[in-house]
Structure 1
Amino acid sequence: MTPDRPKHNLLPELSLRTWLLGSHLLVLLLPLLALVGTGALAMDLRRQTRVDLEHQADVLTVLAAEMLAAAPAESAESAELSELGQRFDPLLIDIGARTLASVRIVNTDAQVVASSAGDQLDEFDMSHDEVVVAALRGRTGVATRDRERSTERQPLSSPSRRARVRLFIAKPIYSSPGSSPGSSPGSAAAEPGEPEIIGAVLLSRTPREELQALYHMSPRLIWGLLFALLTTIALAVFAGRLATRSLESLADAARRITHGSGSEGAKLLRSAGSHVDEVRALATATAAMAEQLQSRVEYINEFAGNVAHEFRTPIATLRGTAELLRDDEDMAPAQRKRFLDNALDELERLERLVDGLLALARAEQPHGGGKVVLADLLAALPERWPEVRVTSPQPSAAVEGSATQLATVLDNLIDNAYAHAGPEVEVEVVGLAPGPEGTGFEVIDNGPGVSAANRTQIFDRFFTTNREQGGTGLGLALVRRIVETHGGTIELDSATGRTCMRVWLPVADD
C-alpha cells in the first residue's frame, strides 16, 4: 500500500537520480545566470567599449594636433582647428565605418568642425553637452546615456550594437602633441611654448548587448558548454548510482524483512560500506533495527512456545476435572472436593503465570530514566525483609533507572533464596561500591547452592525446580530482563553452603 502524499508537499515525487541530475544542471546554469542576471557581463562590455573609445580618442587627439602643427598658416599665427575640418571629415567617416563609433571634433567654442557623419557644421553647437565642456576644460568627459528605443531591433548576428545605452567619451586636443592632458587650457596670456587646448574630440558608441556577446562567443562557447553538460550528466549519474545503490539494497532488504525473511542483516551490513556517510549511517541503523526485529521475532516465538507449554498442563487438568465432574454425577463428595481443590490449585498457578508474564512484559518497556541512589534503595529493604542483613556501599552511587523495578529485582532474588534454601537460611544483601564495572549489589545466602546442571539455565523463562510448591520459573527471568533493560548484568556464583547473585549496573552521569 502506497502512503498518502502530504498535502503540503508541492514538490514532485521523483527518483534521487532525477533530483541529482536536475540539481547538477541547475548548478551548471548558475554561473551563466549570475553573469547575465547580476549585470556583470553588461558592465564588462561597457568597460571594454569605454577603453576602446579612450584609446581611439587618444590617437585622434595626437593626430589632430600633428595635422594642425603641419598645416601651412596663412598668417604669422598658426592655423586654427576650424580650418582643418574638411581635411578631417574623410578620415572620421572612414573611422566611423570601421569601428561603428560616432566621431566629432569641436573647436574651443564647442562648434563641430568635423564629423564621421559628414553633418553640416553650422547645425552642431555642443556647448550644452557636459561631456564636451569637461574636455574643453582639460578633463576627460565620460557619460552613459539611454538610447532611443526603435521598434525594430537588430538581429544578434548584426555588427550593429543592441544595448539600450550609448557611451560618450571626450578628450581635449592640445596645440602640442605629447603635452599632458591634465594641463590647463591656454589663453592669450599664455607663456610662449605652453600647450593650450584648441578643441576636443568626442566619440560615442553603443556597447554590445549580453545576448549579442554570447552569440558571438557561441562557436567556442557551445563546445565548452557541451563538454560541461556531458561532464555534469556523468557526475550526476555517478553520484546517483553511488547514493542509490546502497539505498536500493536497503529497500530490497526491508521488503524481504517485511515478507518474513529475517536473514537480511548481513546484506544490510554490506550496504553500510557505502562511500556516502549518510547512507552508511542509515544502513548501519537499519541493520541494527533488523537484527533487533529478528531477535524480537525469535524471542516472541520462543516465548509463545514456552507459554503454550506452561499453560497446556493446567488447562488440560482443568478440562479433565470439568469433564469428570460433568460425567460422574454420583461422585463421592470427598473425591469431588479433591478434584475441585486440584482445579483451584491449577487456577492459582495460571494466575501466577499471568502475573509473572505481565511483570515480564512491563520489564520490556523503557524504565523512565530517573536516578536511583543505591543506598536509598537498600535502606528500604528492612521494612519488607526485616530478617535480611543489609550492608550499604561506601561510598554510594546513583544509577539510571526505575526504583520500583530495581526493588522488584531485590525482592525476587531474596524470595528465590528463601524458596530454594528454606526458611532457616540466612540472607545478606551487600551494596557494591562504584568501580570499573559500575555499581550494584549482591544477594548472598548460605543455602545448599545451585547444581552445576542448573546454573546455565537458572535465568531462563519457566525454568524452575520448585514447580510442586507453585514456582513459575519467571522470577529470575524477570530479574535478568530488568537488569538488562537497565544496561547491567547479573552473575551467579554458587558453591555448597554459599550462593551469590551479583548485579552490576552502570553508574549514572553527574
Structure 2
Amino acid sequence: MSDGRPHTPGKWRPSLALIIGLVLATVLALPLVGLFFFRFYENQLIQRTEAELIGQSAVLAAVAAQMAGEAPELPLGAERPRAPPGRAPDEPYDPIEPRLDLAQGPILGRRPDALPSAKPADPAFLEIGRRLGPILVQAQASTLAGFRILDPRGVVIAGREEVGLSLAHVPEVAAALRGEVRSVLRTRISRHPPPPVYSVSRGTSVRVFTAMPIVVGDRLAGVVYASRTPSNVVKQLYEERGKLALAAAAILAVTALIGLLFSRFVTHPVHQLIRRTAEIGRGDRSAIKPLERHGTREFAQLSESFLAMAASLQERSDYLRTFAAHVSHELKSPLTAIRGAAELMLDAAPGSMTEEERRRFLGNILADAGRLAALVNRLRELARADNPPIEGETNLGAAAAALRTAQPGLAIRLDGDPALRLPLSEENAGIVLGHLADNAARHGAGTLTLSARRDAAGLALLVRDDGGGIAPGNRARIFDTFFTTRREEGGTGMGLAIVRSLVERHGGTIALDEETGDGAAFRIRLP
C-alpha cells in the first residue's frame, strides 16, 4: 500500500564502499603493474642477451671443433658425457634455453682477473686461436660481445690481451671444463659512469657471461667464453615509444574512467541532494521526489530517507497548521460564550436580573468551562496518542474485562479466543476500545461485540455495536479532528482521531466497515 511518499526504485546499485575499494585497488595496482612490467621487460632483455650469446657461442664452438678435428695430434681434454640427464642418447637435438632471472637469480661479483698459467698452452691450440682471432674481432664489432677461446685446461688461446692467461678458476669456466653449459650474471664495471636516467634500470649494472664447451667426438677440446652487457631498458623503451604512447593513453583513459565513476556515483548525487535540500528549504513541495540519479546504494538510501523525512515534516507542518486552526476555533466558541455571559452578569444593574436568569448564565458558563476542560483532556490524549509507548501487549479477554468496568451500561461480547494476544499494551488497548465503546454508548448502542482473529498479515479486530450507526454523509469525515455531530451535548470530535493516531503509531490501520447493517463497525489491522 502506498503512503504517498517518494520511493527509490529497488534496483541493484554498487555500495559506496565498493566504489572506493575498487578505485583504491586500481590506484594501488597501477604502480605495481608498471613495476612488474618494467622488471619483466628488463628480464626479457637479459634472457634475450643470454640466448644471443648461446647462439653465437654455439657457432664458434662448432667452428673451433672443426678446426680441432683437423689436427689429429691435438691433446684433447676429459671425456664429455654423450647425453645430458633426461635426453635419449640418439636424440639429434640438444636445445639450450636461457635460464637467467634478474629478479630471483644471483648476481655474482665482477669477473675474476685472469691468472698466469702453470703450463703454457699447446702450440696446436695456439694455432687454432690465431686462426679464430680475426673472426672474434669481427663478431665483436657487430654483436658488441666479448669472446674468449680457452683450451681444455682453461688457458686463453684467443681473446686479445688475455692470451696465455688462465681462466680455469672462474666458476662458469670450471663448469664448462666439466662439459656443462653455464650462464651467470655478474656485476658490470664500466669505465664511464652511466647517465643518471639509466640508473632506473638494474640491468645496466650487470653483464651476462656464458661458457660453452667445445667438443670433438666425446672429448673436450676447449671452451667458448662470451660476455655482453644487455640492452638498456630506457633505450629499448625509447625505441618502443609508440607502444608507450598507447600505454600512456590507456592510463589516461583509466584515470578518466575513475573520475567519471566518482562523478557518476558520488559527486553528482551529492550535488543533486544539495540542490534538492535548498529547494525544499525554500518551500518548493515539487522537490519532494526521487533523485534523477542515485549513484551508490548508500546515496539511494540517504536520499529516500531524506525525502521521506521532508515529506513527513511537510505533512506534519500541514497537520499542525490545520490543527491549530481547528483548536483556535474550538476554544474560541466556549471562551466567547463564557466572556459574553460574564459581561452580562457584570453589567446587569442590581435587581435587574432574576435568580433564574443568573442561574442560567452560570449554568452556561459551567457548561462551556466543562467543554473547555474536555477539549484540553482530549488534546492531551491526542498528544499521547501521537507518541505512545508501543511496548507491551495484552489479551482479548483482559481488554474486554477492562472495557466492562469502564462501560457498565454496555454489554461486551467476545467472538474469538479470550487468550488471543493483542499487540497493544493494556493502557493503549483501553484507550482504543474505550473511545469506540463511548461512541457506541452515546449513539444508543446496548451491545458491543469484539471479534478477533490472527492471520499471516497480523491481527484483525472487528469492533461492532448495535446503535444508531453513522449517516452516509458523515462516514468520510468521522476520523477528522474536531468533527462531531454532538457538539451541543459536549462532544469534542477528537475520539476517533485519537484512536486512528494510536493505531497508526503501532503500525496498524483502522477503517469504517461499509457493510455494517445496523449500528457501526470498525476494522482494525495490527501487524
Classify the TM-score, shorter chain. Answer: 0.7 to 0.9
* Contact kept? 2:440, 2:448, Cα under 8 Å: no
How far apart, CA to CA, are the structure 2 residues paired with 1:42 and 1:76? Answer: 43
Which residue matches 1:83?
127
- SS of structure 2 residue aligned to 1:128: coil
Q: Which sections of structure 2, spanning at least 5 residues, go unmatched?
A: 1-18, 77-122
| Residue in structure 2 matching 1:119, options 158, 161, 181 | 161
* Contact kept? 1:161, 1:207, Cα under 8 Å: no
Which residue matches 2:387?
365
Which residue matches 2:449?
429
How far apart, CA to CA, are the structure 2 residues paired with 1:201 and 1:381? Answer: 114
Which residue matches 2:147?
103
Which residue matches 2:433?
410
Which residue matches 1:301?
321
Which residue matches 1:271?
292
CA 1:161–1:303: 2 relative to 1, 3 Å: closer
* Contact kept? 1:271, 1:280, Cα under 8 Å: no
TM-score, structure 1 normalization: 0.75
> Highest relative contact order (Cα 8 Å, sep 6+), 1 or 2?
2
- SS of structure 1 residue aligned to 2:385: helix
1:463-484 Cα shifts (integer Å, max 9, x gaps): 1122233221111011112222
- SS of structure 2 residue aligned to 1:468: helix
How far apart, CA to CA, are the structure 2 residues paired with 1:427 and 1:224? Answer: 87
* Contact kept? 2:273, 2:291, Cα under 8 Å: no
* Contact kept? 1:264, 1:290, Cα under 8 Å: no
| Residue in structure 2 matching 1:173, options 210, 214, 218 | 214
Which residue matches 1:500?
521
Matches within 5 A, 1:228-377: 229-230=252-253, 232-233=255-256, 236-237=259-260, 240=263, 245=268, 247-265=270-288, 268-269=289-290, 271=292, 282-320=302-340, 342-365=364-387, 367-368=389-390, 373-374=395-396, 377=399
Q: CA deviation at 1:336?
A: 6.6
- Counterpart of 1:143 in structure 2: which amino acid? V
Asked if residue 488 in structure 1 is aligned to residue 498 in structure 2, the reply is no
How many pairs were matched up? 456
Q: CA deviation at 1:257?
A: 0.5
| Residue in structure 2 matching 1:153, options 175, 194, 199 | 194
1:227-272 Cα shifts (integer Å, max 9, x gaps): 652575367448735765555444322211111111223xx33616
How far apart, CA to CA, are the structure 2 residues paired with 1:372 and 1:413? Answer: 18
How far apart, CA to CA, are the structure 1 residues paired with 2:453 and 2:271? Answer: 51
1:298-320 Cα shifts (integer Å, max 9, x gaps): 22222222222222223434554
Percent pairwise identity: 33
How far apart, CA to CA, are the structure 2 residues paired with 1:104 and 1:330? Answer: 147
1:419-446 Cα shifts (integer Å, max 9, x gaps): 332xxx3232323212366423222222
1:328-353 Cα shifts (integer Å, max 9, x gaps): 69696956776565445444433432
- Counterpart of 1:171 in structure 2: which amino acid? M
| Aligned residues: CA RMSD | 4.0
How far apart, CA to CA, are the structure 2 residues paired with 1:372 and 1:44? Answer: 81
Which residue matches 2:3?
none
How far apart, CA to CA, are the structure 2 residues paired with 1:419 and 1:409? Answer: 16
Q: CA deviation at 1:281?
A: 5.2
Q: CA deviation at 1:128?
A: 2.2
| Residue in structure 1 matching 2:491, options 448, 451, 471 | 471
How far apart, CA to CA, are the structure 2 residues paired with 1:150 and 1:339? Answer: 125
TM-score, structure 2 normalization: 0.73
How far apart, CA to CA, are the structure 2 residues paired with 1:142 and 1:224? Answer: 33
Matches within 5 A, 1:152-231: 152-154=193-195, 163-176=204-217, 195-208=218-231, 210-226=233-249, 229-230=252-253
- Counterpart of 2:386 in structure 1: which amino acid? E
Q: CA deviation at 1:156?
A: 5.4
CA 1:318–1:32: 2 relative to 1, 3 Å: same
- SS of structure 2 residue aligned to 1:163: helix
